[in-house]
Structures are given as C-alpha cells and as structure tokens.
Amino acid sequence: MDVASTSVIANEVRRTTYFDSIVLMRISHQVSGMAGVEEAGLMLGTPANKDILREAGILGPDGEAAEPGDLILALRAADAAAAAAAMAEAKRLLDAPREQSASAGLISVRTIRSAVRELPDANLALISVPGHFAVAEARKALALGLHVMIFSDNVALAGEVAIKREARERGLLVMGPDCGTAIIGGAPLCFANEVPRGDIGIVGASGTGIQEVSCLIARAGGGISQAIGTGGRDLKAEVGAITTLMAIDALDADPATRHIVLISKPPEAAVARMVLDRVARSAKPFTICFLGANGLALPANARAAATLRAAADASLGRPAGNGPAPRVRAERGALVRGLFAGGTFCSEAQIVFAQAGLPVASNVPVPGAAVLAGANGAHTMIDLGDDEFTRGRPHPMIEPAVRDRPLAAALADPAVAAVLLDVVLGHGAHPDPAGHLAGILNGRNGCPLVIASVTGTDADPQPRGAQVEKLVAAGVIVADSNAEAAALAATAVGAHP
C-alpha cells in the first residue's frame, strides 16, 4: 500500500485473470460505496485502463507492473483499515460468481473446444473477452462450426472484416463485435428483453433499437422469430454489411418469419444500395428503419419508418402512432434537455425534434437533424453511454447513478422546461432503474416537466408495469415509446405535434 496525502492507495494484481467488464463495473460500484472508500476500480491491465486508474489517483506500483491480461484491483480509502476491508470485499465479490456457478451445477471450462465437448449440440458461441483477444477466440469458434456473437468492443475494424469474411466462407454468422443484444431461438442474449415468439424478424446494428422495437411489438400482442444483432459497424463500407446480408438470407429462408425489420443509422450509399437490392429479391415484406436517412429508393416490398415506434407499427400492419399526439405545457423555461442511456434513443429524439422544426445540440449528431455547435441556449440531447461519460465507469443502463449529476443540474436550471429520459429494462440492466430515478425526483417542486419512456415488458426481470408505476408516483409523465416521449417534450416548448 502507498500513502498519498492522508489517503491510502491499495492495489492487488491477479495474474492472467479475466472477468466480464459488466461484472467488474458492478463490483467497482459496490466497493466504492463502502465506508471510507474514496474511489475504486477493477480493470484489466491494458495501457488504456492503467491511464484511467492513474487519472483517478488509485494506481500504485503493483498495478503499474500489471500485464494486459492481468486483473488490477485498485482503490483509495481514508485509512489503512478501510482500504483492507474494501480490498477483502472486492476479492469476495470477485470469487462469488465462480462459487455460485459451482453450487448451481454449472459447467466451467477453460477453452471453447472443451465447451463443445461438454455441449456437443451447441451451435452458438458468445464471446466477451478483451477486444484484442476477441477475433482469435471467434476464429476458434468458427473452426468448430459455431456461429458467433461477439459482445466485446475495442476490436480493430480490420479484425472485424477478416473474421466476418472467414465466417461467410464457412456459412456461419458473426454478430458483432460490440453486439449487445440478440434474441435467438427465443433466448434473450446479453442486453435483451423477454418477448414472446412470433413471426417478425429483426436485423439491427443497434442494441437498444432492437430492444425498443421488440418490446413495442410484444406489448402490442406480437412476437419475434429472431432478432439478429450485427454490431454497429456492419454497414460501414469497409465491412460491406456482411452480417446484415447473411441475416436477411437466414430470415428470408425461415418459414416462421413473416415480416423483417432492418434497424441502423444510415449506411453509406453503396452499402445501402447493396442491402436494398437484397431486400428487393425477397418475397417477404420489409420495414426499413435507417434512423436519419432521407430519400431512400425502396423496393416495392419495403416501406420506410422514421422512428423505432413507426417500425414496430409497420411490422404489425398498423398505422404509425396511436392517433393525434397529446400535448403538455411547461410551467417554466423554454428548453428541453434529453439525458439518455441509449445512444439510438438520443439519435431518435433528435430526429423527432428535427421533424418538429427544433434544432438540437448533441454529442451524437444524426443526419437530417439540425445540430447547433454549442449547448448554450439550445435544446440538448446527450448520450450518457458515450465513451466520454463511461470511460472507467459503468454504462448508465447498468448503473443509473451515472445520470444523477446531469439530471440534478437540469432540474435546477430555470431555462429547462422539460427533461427527457429513457429507462431501459431487461437482462443485464439495473434491477430497479425507475426506483433509483424516483428516489431523486420524489419531493421536487414539479418544475421542470420530466418525461420518460420505459423500454421493456412485464416478463422482464424488472416488470415494466411496476417500473412505470414508480415513475408516475414520482411525477414523471411516461410515454409508450421513446419517439412519443420526444414528441411530447417538443410540445412542451411550443412545437406542434
């Protein structure tokens, strides 16, 4: 242990040890909340992670010496006793998942080959390792005849292109890298929701986009045949929509799939033409939701959807929306501040505001939206899941406290008429995000308006109905979808619905 000022820095290194980043972030948050702990972080010993720990003032000599495959337990506490107690708790929490797996009778293996021997009927490998190892592990899975879902991010673009081309040659699908959501054979994978089986297939480069559309379909009485995530870069020119095209092929050949929904930010022109040419060769109807795209030349069997809500409605054969949009009136201010956990929701809200003639400042600008250079005096939409906010911290879907400080600032700002929020439920998400928000909002004076959407179903680990009730009790206006919440917020500052 090293002493800096009056605080104590404690580091411990576990050699060649890997844990999923979500597990590490949750443990870091739990340890940070202990008495006497000023800061804590559990990270692999990559140079970038060491920079984060160093900037946080919790990296000691032991941590500095860690290799990229090592796990660093780092913390700063008020005194040696608090540091020792926190380190002991961190180690207990790290060991708990393995002990729980053993007590539950789950099989633990060290290689993909060993896993295939234990589960010879498996045909999909889910990979969540540091990005620089992900392609190598995916290649091993492909060699064993497995489709692959790569949850890992920070994978080089050249590596993504190479592994997807190899998979295509083998007739296998690679979802990802940075694929956070899929529903395969009725099983929700990673950040996904519990939805019924049905006849609508989804191909999405957006995890939260898949979540929103699948949940809206489920709540309307429909169901999902398969939801195939592609990773956010699949429709880049370098990748050439390899996974998207293979997913369309698979759903086109699937007799259980009646309608196919494509979700993405606008692809590059050549890639869009390639995808739409493939759509045109299908006998099935498609809904194309390329958020922010304009002037798409769609084939006769496809229709465009400007929002995720419109995409869900179209797939169900319903007219977009539920009749005339309601209106609300703010009691103060003239601006809307959107604080989002989902980057796609942030983009969608900008599109809704653009349709209402309202320019927006954002850290994730989208095509087709008028974006102002600075936030002063402008409506703002912020993706709090962006790297600038999550560097070394949990994603707001995992830990809603990431939103606490900007939310408090928005509530206190007399220029803000309405605050726009998204609440995302499902596997992998925080167990009670609405309860956390309600704890902040209860007791406020009602100004500004707080408008939210809740993405999820009543079958989720956090039942949607109960989450909505908590928000309503705290004075939140809850819309049925993110697009409708954004439209409602626009009316609060005088826009016509």
pLDDT number for residue 373: 42
User: Can you give the pLDDT of all 497 residues of the chain as single tens digits?
Assistant: 444 457 999 999 999 887 777 778 778 888 988 999 999 999 889 888 898 899 889 999 999 999 988 999 999 999 999 999 999 999 999 987 555 554 445 677 778 999 999 999 999 999 988 788 899 999 999 999 999 999 988 899 999 999 999 999 999 999 999 999 999 999 999 999 999 999 999 999 999 999 999 999 999 999 999 999 999 999 999 999 999 999 999 999 999 999 999 999 999 999 999 999 999 999 999 999 999 998 889 999 999 999 999 999 999 998 866 556 688 888 888 999 999 999 999 999 999 999 999 999 998 888 767 655 445 568 999 999 886 776 666 788 988 888 999 999 999 999 999 999 999 999 989 999 999 999 999 878 778 999 999 999 999 999 999 999 999 999 999 999 999 999 999 999 987 65
Alpha-carbon distance values, 363 to 64, 107, 334 (Å): 33, 43, 21
Given a contact cutoff of 8 angstroms between Cβ atoms, the answer to whether 286 and 201 are in contact is no
Please list the residues that pair with 466 across neighbouring strands.
none
**pLDDT for the residue 324:** 60
Alpha helices, DSSP H only, in 8-130? 21-32, 47-55, 61-64, 80-103, 112-118
**What is the rounded distance in angstroms from the CA atom of residue 405 to the CA atom of residue 337?**
13
* 55-85: pLDDT as tens digits: 889 999 999 999 988 999 999 999 999 999 9
Q: Which pLDDT belongs to residue 203? A: 98
Tokens describing residue 131: 């990005």
DSSP character at residue 400 = G
Domains parsed from the chain with CATH numbers:
2-103 (3.30.70), 110-175 (3.40.50.720), 179-323 (3.40.50.261), 335-492 (3.40.50.261)
Structure tokens belonging to residue 308: 């995720």
The SS3 assignment for 314 reads: helix
Closest among 197, 130, 138, 206 to 170, alpha carbons compared: 138
- Residue 251 Ramachandran class (φ > 0 left, ψ -120 to 50 alpha, else beta): alpha
- Nearest-angstrom CA–CA distance, 272 and 249: 16
The CA radius of gyration of the chain, in Å to the nearest whole number, is: 23
Question: What number of other Cβ atoms are within 10 A of residue 424's Cβ?
Answer: 30
Q: Is 383 left (phi over 0), alpha (psi -120 to 50) or beta?
A: beta
Q: What's the rounded Cα separation, in Å, for the pair 44 and 52?
A: 11
CB proximity list for 407: less than 8 A, separation 6 or greater: 339, 419, 421, 437, 440
Q: Can you spell out the DSSP letters for 104-120?
A: TT----SSHHHHHHH-T
pLDDT at 86: 95
Tell me the three state secondary structure of residue 75. strand
417, 332 Cβ separation under 8 angstroms: yes
Q: How far is CA 298 from CA 25, 247, 366, 441, in A?
A: 43, 19, 21, 45
* Cis bond upstream, residue 188 (ω within 30): no
Q: How many CB atoms lie within 10 A of CB 151?
A: 27
3-state secondary structure at position 287: strand
Instruction: Give CA torsion, residues 22, 380, 446, 352, to 10 deg.
Output: -90
Helix 21-32 to helix 80-103 angle (10° resolution) is 140
Q: How many CB atoms lie within 10 A of CB 405?
A: 9
Q: Strand pairing partners for 380?
A: 337, 361
Phi and psi at residue 409, to the nearest 5°:
-65, -40
Contact between 244 and 340 (Cβ < 8 Å): no
**pTM listed for this prediction:** 0.87
449 half-sphere exposure, CB direction, 13 A CA radius: 26
As a whole number of angstroms, the distance between CA 242 and CA 148 comes to: 14
Are the C-beta atoms of 127 and 137 separated by less than 8 Å? yes
Amino acid at 168: R
Taking CA 479 as the corner, what is the angle to CA 477 and CA 483, rounded to the nearest 5 degrees?
130
pLDDT for res 330: 83
Cα distance between residue 336 and residue 379, in whole Å: 5
Tokens representing 185 are: 């054979």
Alpha-carbon distance of 312 to 353, in angstroms, equals 20
pLDDT (0 to 100) of residue 88: 95
Unique residue bearing structure tokens 């006998």 = 283
Q: Which residues contact 419 (CB under 8 A, 6 or more apart)?
A: 336, 337, 338, 339, 407, 410, 411, 448, 449, 450, 451
Q: Which residues pair with 44 in a beta bridge?
A: 71
Helix axis angle, 242-253 to 157-170, nearest 10°: 30
Q: What's the pLDDT tens digit per position in 96-121?
A: 755 555 444 567 777 899 999 999 99
3-state helix, strand, coil in the chain (%, to 5): 40, 20, 40
